Structure 1
Amino acid sequence: MTRNESEPRHKPDEPGRADMAERLDPYCLKEGEGELLSGHPWRRFVALGDSVVEGLGDAVPGYLDEPWVDRLAGALRQHAGDLVFRNLGRRNTRAALVRSTQLDKALAFEPDLALVACGGYDTLVARFDEHRVASEIRAIVGALQDRGSTVITVSMIDSSRSPQLPPAVRERFARRLRALSDATSVIARDLGTLHIDLFDHPVGDADNLLSADGRHANRRGHAIAAAEAVRAVGAHLARPELRNGAA
């Protein structure tokens, strides 16, 4: 079933909330940064993609156990209590399948804000066709924009730099991730998306970023990605041409 988030998973006054390490992490959100989203115009937010969007990741002591896209939705909801969020992300889903199985659902939701993050699972299969993946992402973004959505695209943190990743697969994985990041950045430039570029983030070579599977960010990684997403969206909203109009 598709998850429909009507409220954040963690309320500010929830007993036992253990996020002390997150509060001290230099890369995570600081008190007051959520105000960067104040006055945003969006009320219907949808996310499409693979496991990056679904939110897979191991829990980490001292960090909230919440995926980064859900965190972004919660931060947006703090300034628009009627915001409705749908997360269509599914693990093990190639970009072509995101377009064929999620796009129509997303369009039917009539979003004014959409996040697209896919292609990561394509980098794990035997043959990675970066041009085909780029074509699928471009088609998804274009269709959403044609319906009036502000679209967020993402170049995720380069996890191939992590010491947790086995050296035997690191080089090939690094090439593929770089190709995906570059292709997504080109699409963002060509189509004018709100782009969150995390690829060269300094945390990528940390030894405590990945889950036990060596593929997905753990909850520290999700907390950092959420922080950078809030900052990127806030910077977008601060653009002079948007201060007195829709994003």
Structure 2
Amino acid sequence: MVDGYAATLEAADPYCLDPGEAAALLAGHPWKRFAVLGDSVASGVGDPVPGYVEQAWCDRIRSELAEQQPDLCYLNLGVRELRAAEIREQQLAAAVRFAPDLVLISAGGNDALRRSYQPDAVDAELGAMITALQEAGADVITVGMFDVSYAPSFPEPVKHQVGERMRMLSARTAALSARLGAIHVNCTGHPAERDPASYSADGVHGNLRSHSICAALTIRRLGLHLTP
């Protein structure tokens, strides 16, 4: 539970966690070493929003996991602007050395934002990371991100192309995760992605309300994974 949670606007937000919901979903979870790989989505870029918990989404997931496992160890390797190949090259070895039992990977968004996006190459990079981390003993979470073509920074002439690529990345990541037995969290298509108020002042990154929503979706998906 996050301090002061019940006093925030977040508690009344239908897309966010209800008070006590995370504790119920994660009760008895087995994870003690949580690692995060990725880009700015992983690292936690996002503006605060009054009334919402001031934690980036992966930090929020860590806090909720730690409520059930107080000795939880956490490593966030996320660095903004990285493409999938750079994430694998720069972060995978360190993540494996950490010996995680739970890993979240957020990768491919910076590839899909560009016309040079190569879906098969991104799939190969994601697949290599998922497989290596599973072989190291970790449960792996993958993410279908918000379709940021709805963000205010994208001019009308490019919104359609960016949206097509972002939705393709999401669908392919979901299919790859299903093949490899990863835990997939689908944020793509959520109503909040279409709301300009969901984005930070930079006009492209989600703000901390968006982070709270994505944390709720992830924790609910983990709860489903833990259900016998």
Higher helix share: 2
Superposed displacement of residue 90, structure 1:
0.4
Alignment of 1:68-87 (within 5 A): 68-87=57-76
Alpha-carbon distance between aligned partners in 2 of 1:85 and 1:122, rounded to the nearest angstrom: 27
Alpha-carbon distance between aligned partners in 1 of 2:202 and 2:108, rounded to the nearest angstrom: 18
Judge conservation of contact 1:94–1:119 (CA < 8 Å) in 2: yes
Over 3 Å counting, the alpha-carbon distance change for 1:31 and 1:213 in structure 2 is: same
Superposed displacement of residue 158, structure 1:
1.8
- Counterpart for residue 23 of structure 1: 11
Alpha-carbon distance between aligned partners in 2 of 1:82 and 1:121, rounded to the nearest angstrom: 34
- Counterpart for residue 104 of structure 2: 115
Amino-acid identity (%): 43
Find the residue that maps to 1:102 and give its secondary structure. helix
Judge conservation of contact 1:47–1:87 (CA < 8 Å) in 2: yes
Alignment of 1:58 onto 2:47: yes
Superposed displacement of residue 20, structure 1:
2.2
Match of 2:198, as an amino acid? L
Alignment of 1:37 onto 2:26: yes
Give CA deviations for 1:17-57 in whole Å, capped at 9, x if unaligned.
89622121110100121120000001011000000000001
Alignment of 1:232 onto 2:221: yes
Q: Which runs of 5+ in 2 are unaligned?
A: none
The match for 1:202 among 156, 169, 191 is 191
Alpha-carbon distance between aligned partners in 1 of 2:7 and 2:214, rounded to the nearest angstrom: 16
Judge conservation of contact 1:164–1:210 (CA < 8 Å) in 2: no
Superposed displacement of residue 143, structure 1:
0.4
Alpha-carbon distance between aligned partners in 1 of 2:117 and 2:178, rounded to the nearest angstrom: 23
The match for 2:129 among 129, 136, 140 is 140
Over 3 Å counting, the alpha-carbon distance change for 1:234 and 1:127 in structure 2 is: same
Judge conservation of contact 2:145–2:187 (CA < 8 Å) in 1: yes
The match for 2:203 among 214, 220, 234 is 214
Deviates more, 1:118-127 or 1:161-170: 161-170
- Counterpart for residue 164 of structure 2: 175
Give CA deviations for 1:161-189 in whole Å, capped at 9, x if unaligned.
34664323211110110111011011111
Normalized against structure 2, the TM-score is what? 0.94
Over 3 Å counting, the alpha-carbon distance change for 1:163 and 1:97 in structure 2 is: closer
Over 3 Å counting, the alpha-carbon distance change for 1:183 and 1:105 in structure 2 is: same
Superposed displacement of residue 231, structure 1:
0.6
Alpha-carbon distance between aligned partners in 2 of 1:47 and 1:56, rounded to the nearest angstrom: 14
Alignment of 1:12 onto 2:12: no
Alignment of 1:149 onto 2:112: no
Superposed displacement of residue 205, structure 1:
1.4
Q: Which runs of 5+ in 1 are unaligned?
A: 1-9, 241-247
Alpha-carbon distance between aligned partners in 1 of 2:140 and 2:121, rounded to the nearest angstrom: 20
Normalized against structure 1, the TM-score is what? 0.87
Alignment of 1:86-97 (within 5 A): 86-97=75-86
Provide the aligned length of Structure 1 versus Structure 2. 227
Judge conservation of contact 1:159–1:210 (CA < 8 Å) in 2: no
Alpha-carbon distance between aligned partners in 1 of 2:6 and 2:160, rounded to the nearest angstrom: 37
Deviates more, 1:48-57 or 1:159-168: 159-168
Alpha-carbon distance between aligned partners in 1 of 2:7 and 2:95, rounded to the nearest angstrom: 33
Superposed displacement of residue 126, structure 1:
4.5
Find the residue that maps to 2:117 and give its secondary structure. coil
Alpha-carbon distance between aligned partners in 2 of 1:214 and 1:83, rounded to the nearest angstrom: 34
- Counterpart for residue 88 of structure 2: 99
Alignment of 1:49 onto 2:38: yes
